[in-house]
Amino acid sequence: MNTSITSKLIVVLTLCLAVILGVGMTIDYRFSRDEILERVRLESAETVNNVVSELEQWLHGVEGDTLFLARVLEQREYSREGLNQLLRDIVAHNNEIFGAAIALNPELTDKPQGFAPYFYHRKGAISFTDFADKDQKYWEHAWYRDAATSGKPIWVEPYFDEDGGEILMTTFSVPVYHFDGEGNRSLYAVVTADVALTELHRYLQQLHLGESGYGVLISKAGIVLSTEKPDSIMRHYLDAMSTPADSDAWKRSFNAALRGETLVFPIECPARFGKCNARLSTLKATGWPVGVIYSQDEVLAPLREYETKTAIVGLGTLLLMALAVGIVSRRLTGPLVALARASDVIATGDLNAPLPRIKGKDEVAQLVQSFRAMKRDLKSYISDLKVATAGRARLEGEMAAATQIQMSMLPQGGEALEEAASYSLWAKVRPAKSVGGDLYTFYQCDQNKLYMAVGDVSDKGVPAALFMAKAISHMKQYEEAFESPPTGMALLNNALEQGNDNCMFVTLFFGVLDLQTLELRFASAGHTAPSLLRNGVTTVLSQETGPALGLAEDMPYPENTFNLQAGDRLAIYTDGIDEAFNNQAEMFGFERLNTQLQASAGDKITSAGTGIFKCVDDFAGDTPQSDDITLMLLDIPGQPANSQEVSRSFNCNSTVFGTVAGWLKEAFQQMSIDSEIGMELTLVSEEILTNIHKYAGLPASALIEVLIRIDSDKITLEFSDEGIAFNPFLDGHRADLGRDIESAEIGGLGVHLVTQLTDRQSYQRIDGCNLLSVEKSLSAE
């Protein structure tokens, strides 16, 4: 799910929205915060100002009353009763005033104690006391002295009044002066009005700023007049209110307040969290610093609330949005997921898996449509493929059966080994495709004769196979006629020519071996001449051929004969061997076959045969077999005679050359002498015979004996006659060779030919006979 579109969308969109909201909210917060702070400030200022002005009003009232009294006393002289009454009235009618006193200057009174009546509120009634009574020397008290000293109305620092009210109070003292005629001033009395600190306190406690904020009032000297903690009252503010860390701030603000400035400064909160602020301004009337101490956090509570609300709203919005995105995206990708699942099912092979239904024309719908079409096409393609494959499988089955049938037409089913007393025969066919056009056959009609054949139908594959079957069955038909290979060939040719509109043809080698005489009679219809391995040397049989079978009626097929010997190995094959191609388009060729055949000299027939097949395969490499390959090997058991001789006598007449040449040709063929060597030896013998004819002085009836001897590596010709002793190598006239025509001598060339074309020459005269012998080597040069 981590990589699904849904979660991607959710994450991405939520992040974006979070960022946007975050930025917006931050900006809004900044502005709002400033607004709120401003509001808070204004509110707090207002609150403070309200209380302060109330306080000021009250104090101002007190001052006013006292000043009035003082003025009155300045103007008139009152008697003591009058003064008392005056004082009493003032106290009684002004609840604000705790008590009032008129303290006459004792120097002006008749009593040394002076006269200082004092009226005050106590327990709801007006009480009276005269400071003079108690011998207190009231003129030494601060409330009298300070006023007298300053000459102006002053507020006296707070104190505990033992004499009178027995409470903490502060007093407004106004000195009263009388002026004599010359304008000299003399102190008459000090008029006082007392304000209870508790009253002040009551006023101040209306100051609320935040839940735990409280008001504070400090006298000019720094004595705390009112604060939250009762034990702080009457102590110096530095002692009671400030911590050592804040003392500088306090002092600064206090002094500023004394000057009339308003200051807000942060202080350490007494036993509270967060920051606290102290706000000090001044009571105008008295010049006392008055202020409020509050917790910023509490005051900023609205702001905090606002922040919290905003955060919650923001978070809520994000969550809702994530939810909405998730839902929408799910709905969009739902079909895609279903499609993916359906394709998984289809991939397992079940092409009938249902595809999701989808409405609309959006991209996903289009995808589903395409998918549906593809599924449909796939189904039809696969069913077509199934039909084709089934067809091919059936065909392959038929071909496999065909291969079996074809191979069963051949003796021993395509690879044969026949070991008899007088021969061993091995044969193998390997078609290029399932079936092919090569064939072999061998059989014995009677004990003494072995019939063998190798054939090659044109082309390969099924057509060739059918023609091959036709050929094989006709060959069976003419089994006995093949006793004379040419006859059989002709019959077979005519049979195959019939109805052969396609002009298929087959080359065929058919041989009949007389097992007693080892004479091989054979006919070849355009077939490659077999190779013979004799005495370790491979040669190719010479043959006269007729045309390939099946093309034209009534064709002649010459008979060839050849004498096999003990130790011979005959190889009959089709051109699939010599025409086997390798990667470089080179052909295997006759030479390689003959070399390989020669190399198989010591091997048993089967391994010789498989060895030749392997040699061809190794040559071809991975090039596919291009033609059917057939090989038949015939071994004549026994040790080959190392030498054999034939000889004949001829009359020494004028036709002796032709006669001898003819006999030589036959003999050479029988002995499978290479035709070129044969021709040279014929030439040699012609020259020798010419010499004998010319110089031996023999009558036509005389006989010349010619002997041919073959050994493993050489051939020897011997000529013997009873003529005059004549050694052509000595006595003969040799011409100088190489001279130009004019000086060349005609004659004497024969001896040259003899010496050049043979390896050894010898002459002997034995018992009145000339014995001339020449040798020629047979081994490969």
Partner 1 sequence: MNLTTNISINEEDSVARVALVGALNTDTAPSFEERLQSVVDKNYAITVLDMKDLDYISSAGLRVIFKAAKQAKVAGNKLAAANRKPHIDKVFEILKALPDMAVFANDQELDDYLEAMQNKVKGEQ
Residues contributing to the site for partner 1 (CB under 8 A) = 654-655, 657-658, 661-662, 676, 679-680, 682-683, 686-687, 689-690, 737-738, 740-742, 744, 746-747, 749-750, 752-753, 756-757
Find tokens 């804040």 and name the residue: 246
Q: How far is the CB of 694 from partner 1 (least distance, A)?
A: 10
Q: Which is nearer to partner 1, 413 or 662 (CB)?
A: 662
**CB nearer to partner 1: pick between 598 and 761:** 761
Q: With respect to partner 1, which residue has the nearer C-beta, 162 or 731?
A: 731
The CB-of-745 to partner 1 minimum distance in angstroms stands at 9
Q: Which two tokens stand for residue 695?
A: 């110089």
Contacts 24+ apart (CB under 8 A), 474-482: 475/441, 479/443, 479/445, 479/451, 480/445, 482/451, 482/453, 482/510, 482/512
Query: Residue type for 110, please?
Result: D
454: which strand partners? 440, 509
The closest alpha carbon to 428, from 615, 623, 613, 618, belongs to 613
- The token pair that represents 309 in the structure block: 């609300």
- Quote the least distance from Cβ 412 to partner 1, whole Å: 44
Q: CB-based contacts of 569: which residues, under 8 Å, 6+ apart?
A: 532, 533, 534, 597, 600, 601, 605, 608, 633, 634, 635, 636
330 contact partners, CB below 8 Å, separation of at least 6: 6
The C-alpha atoms of residue 267 and residue 238 are separated, in whole angstroms, by 12
Q: How far is the CB of 676 from partner 1 (least distance, A)?
A: 6
Query: Least distance (Å) from partner 1 to the CB of residue 759?
Result: 14
Nearest residue (CB) to partner 1, 332 versus 683 = 683
Please, which residues have CB within 8 angstroms of residue 285's CB and are 6 or more apart in sequence?
56, 59, 60, 63
**Euclidean distance between CA atoms 147 and 392, whole angstroms:** 136
Do the Cβ atoms of 505 and 549 come closer than 8 Å? yes
Residue 128: CB atoms within 10 A of its CB come to: 14
φ, ψ for residue 391, nearest 5 deg: -60, -45
Supply the minimum distance, in Å, between the C-beta of residue 757 and partner 1. 7
Q: Which tokens is 443 given?
A: 């059989």
When the beta carbons of 245 and 780 are compared against partner 1, the nearer one is: 780
- CB atoms inside a 10 Å sphere around CB 16: 11
Beta pairing partners, 346: none
Nearer to partner 1, 486 or 750 (CB): 750
Cβ proximity to partner 1: between 649 and 655 the closer is 655
Cβ distance to partner 1 smaller for residue 540 or 566: 540
Nearer to partner 1, 365 or 757 (CB): 757
Burial of 352 per CB tally in 10 Å (0-12, 13-18, 19+): exposed
Residue closer to partner 1 (CB basis): 472 or 684: 684
- Report yes or no: 759 and 776 within 8 Å, Cβ to Cβ: yes
Nearer to partner 1, 87 or 717 (CB): 717
Tell me whether residue 600 is exposed, middle or buried, using C-beta atoms within 10 angstroms of its C-beta: 0 to 12, 13 to 18, 19 or more.
buried
For the CB of residue 761, give the shortest distance to partner 1 in the complex, in Å: 14
DSSP-based three-state secondary structure for 45 = helix
Asked if 429 and 630 count as a contact pair (C-beta separation under 8 A), the reply is yes
Q: Strand, coil or helix: what is 617?
A: helix
Minimum gap (Å) between residue 662 Cβ and partner 1: 8
Nearer to partner 1, 322 or 689 (CB): 689
- Provide, rounded to whole angstroms, the least separation between the CB of residue 726 and partner 1: 17
Q: How far is the CB of 780 from partner 1 (least distance, A)?
A: 18
Contact criterion met (CB below 8 Å) for 289 and 276: no
The least distance separating partner 1 from the CB of residue 673, rounded to whole angstroms, comes to 14
| CB 525 to partner 1: min, Å | 25
Nearer to partner 1, 95 or 654 (CB): 654
Give the integer Cα–Cα distance in Å for 410 and 426: 13
Name which of 366 and 655 has its Cβ closer to partner 1: 655
DSSP string, 263-275: EEEEE--TT-SS-
Shortest CB 609 distance to partner 1, Å: 34
Q: From the CB of 742, what's the least distance to partner 1, in Å?
A: 6
Minimal CA–CA distance to 255: which of 238, 232, 269, 270?
A: 238
Nearer to partner 1 among residue 445 and residue 737 (C-beta): 737
Listed in sequence order, the residues at least 6 apart from 484 whose beta carbon sits closer than 8 Å to its beta carbon are 512, 521, 559
Q: How far is the CB of 686 from partner 1 (least distance, A)?
A: 5
